[in-house]
Structure 1
Amino acid sequence: MEKQGSRALLAAVIGMGVLLFIGSLVLVGVLVHRMMHPQASLPHTVAATPAIPHEEGEYGSLMLDEPAGTRIESVTVRPDGMVVAALAGGDRAGRIIIWDPAGRRIVARLVLAP
């Protein structure tokens, strides 16, 4: 009787070992496949905002209270239509502004420590 239990235990241990080996191979295969075929990031769709008529132009004017010598380092459009601009220079630390073109206003400012 004891020999019967030992065989069942041995079969279970061998079965689990085989399953672990196969699972490890599948995991390595998935990792290699993802490294060889990187998935492109999901495309962001920007909702078109209708032009708001204004006497100074199609979108109106936006005045930034930035000192002379300020330059735009980079501009990025977010998926929700907001524009993020990184500013530098003008005797100030670097800063980032988030602009809402539809509302013609600055939504947020982030001042970076010098």
Structure 2
Amino acid sequence: MNQGLAEDRTGSESGTPKALLAAVIIMGVMIVAGVAVMIGVIAHRVMHPHQGVALEASSTNGFTRLALPLAEGEHITNVTARGDGMMAVTLGRPGSERVLLWNPNAGKVVAELDFGSVAGAP
């Protein structure tokens, strides 16, 4: 005796809509792929550490003198103070430019953006 309490489930074993089941499977695959990529990136960074720009620091007479290593023919073209206390230092030479993000409080270069050489430049 069927009193309208259950739906007729002909052709379906569990009653779960196929779209929902497909979405769950796709999300599961995406989670597994994301975790695999994250593990790969971490392993790559551990095996290939980033060599940052080294500053020479010497402390004399109560202040610290920092020497930024410049390539041959390279010079400072612009220095911009940022609101977070860091400074963007633009270095240039014929055919290439780079920007260093420098933290003066810590006395180190935090990041470097290298624009490489201009097309057709020696």
| TM-score normalised per structure 2 | 0.42
More helix by share: 1
More strand by share: 2
Which structure would you say has the larger RCO, counting Cα contacts within 8 Å and 6 or more residues apart? 1
| TM-score normalised per structure 1 | 0.45
